[in-house]
């Protein structure tokens, strides 16, 4: 099976089967039937893509309530450290995170269920990042956690003090200020 469990139940690494020959390669990035057989029953309704430079950290972002989103994330070009933080109330792993390097070389994808904050840091010169969401974005329901929150103990593999952050991300609260 192309799915690898992580230390947080529900967060799953998808390792696609890649077919290579002298022309290049081919692989399925998503197959609803395969995902459902693995217990991932998400109906994706929106695809997003971003391009960023080395040292950029995007996140940690989430959608609240009925607008929560599950995501299937991957890298089309370059390399990122992708991070999912458990925000599910009552979860044994609340506040814990999973970090996985995703790249155009390993072609790994990460499935992040609803109830998680998500972010990534760019490890290569540039990175093109793509993801599917199972719910539409709603500005009124957005939330975020400061990526430098020491209680999260995330090693972003880039210097956080000199990372490039959006103005919005620079002022995000710490986890304990959100919940």
Active site residues: 61, 131
CA dist., res. 145 & res. 9, Å (int): 21
CA dist., res. 129 & res. 80, Å (int): 8
CA dist., res. 156 & res. 136, Å (int): 27
> Which residue in this structure is represented by tokens 């994330």?
73
What lies within 8 Å, CB to CB, of 94 at 6+ separation is 86, 87, 88
> Which residue in this structure is represented by tokens 């919940």?
179
């Amino acid at each position: 099976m192309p799915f690898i469990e992580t230390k947080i139940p529900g967060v799953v690494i998808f390792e696609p089967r890649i077919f290579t020959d002298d022309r290049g390669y081919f692989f399925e990035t998503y197959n609803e039937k395969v995902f459902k057989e693995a217990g991932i029953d998400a109906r994706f309704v929106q695809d997003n893509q971003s391009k960023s430079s080395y040292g950029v950290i995007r996140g940690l972002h989430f959608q609240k309530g009925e607008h929560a989103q599950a995501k299937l994330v991957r890298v089309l070009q370059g390399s990122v450290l992708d991070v999912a933080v458990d925000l599910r109330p009552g979860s044994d792993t609340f506040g814990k995170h999973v970090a996985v390097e995703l790249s155009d070389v390993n072609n790994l994808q990460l499935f992040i269920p609803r109830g998680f904050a998500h972010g990534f840091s760019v490890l290569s010169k540039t990175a093109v990042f793509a993801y599917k969401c199972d719910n539409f974005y709603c500005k009124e329901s957005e939330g975020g956690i400061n990526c430098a929150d020491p209680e999260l103990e995330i090693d972003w593999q880039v210097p956080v003090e000199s990372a490039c952050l959006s103005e919005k991300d620079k002022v995000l609260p710490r986890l304990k200020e959100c919940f």
